[in-house]
A and B are shown apart, each in its own frame.
Chain A
Amino acid sequence: RKEVEQDPGPFNVPEGATVAFNCTYSNSASQSFFWYRQDCRKEPKLLMSVYSSGNEDGRFTAQLNRASQYISLLIRDSKLSDSATYLCVVNAPSFQKLVFGTGTRLLVSP
């Protein structure tokens, strides 16, 4: 089983739609969780950290379910500029490393 699993997509949605991505992780001792955004041929950029209580940043809402070991990202009112690959990232607790999922590709169309 992969350490971090994501549906690769692509998710094709129209502008204004709401879209949700899920991610599962295998190490129950993981403590830090993030969503990164990666544009084509660019480096990943931190979108938001994910906290146990859930957190929101504008149109983006992240949630963590420790019992089921999954993380979600909800994007409301999708914009064309949201088209990118969204990477679910979890820390490897003993070694302070980050483990990346393969990413979920989002395509927002007019």
Chain B
Amino acid sequence: GAVVSQHPSRVICKSGTSVKIECRSLDFQATTMFWYRQFPKKSLMLMATSNEGSKATYEQGVEKDKFLINHASLTLSTLTVTSAHPEDSSFYICSARDRVGATNEQFFGPGTRLTVL
């Protein structure tokens, strides 16, 4: 149980294009999903907290107009990197928390490796 999928796993795009990443909880409902970014040899940095049916909460320094988050259902959240630039190249990972879970455990997706040329 507690499986989270991400799609796509890898994307290469040209500078200026927009990229959408999907995060799905496959066997549980997730009221809250989280989006992280990880640069090489660095730690995971939380970008935003996505709550089903409401606006995402962004961390300081993360541009909400550049990283659009939609959490329209209890099993799906999407992150759109708009007008991507080479500095946006990173490993994007989502996680989800089981709405009925008693702990703060988050279940992670396999990640999406974005390369912007």
Contacts and interface: CB of A to CB of B under 8 A. Distances in A.
Interface of A: 31-32, 34, 41-46, 49, 87, 91, 95-103
Interface of B: 32, 34, 42-46, 49, 91, 93, 95, 97, 103-106, 108-111, 113
Contacts, number: 43
A45 B91 contact: no
A21 to B, nearest CB: 15
B104 A43 contact: no
Most chain A CB within 10 A, of B45, B93, B108, is at B108
Nearest to B106: A98
B104 A32 contact: yes
Nearest to B97: A96
Given A95-B49, A97-B46, A102-B42, A46 B105 contact: yes
A32 B103 contact: yes
A81 to B, nearest CB: 19
Given A95-B49, A97-B34, A42 B111 contact: yes
Given A43-B108, A43-B110, A87 B43 contact: yes
B43 A98 contact: no
A40 to B, nearest CB: 10
Nearest to A34: B105
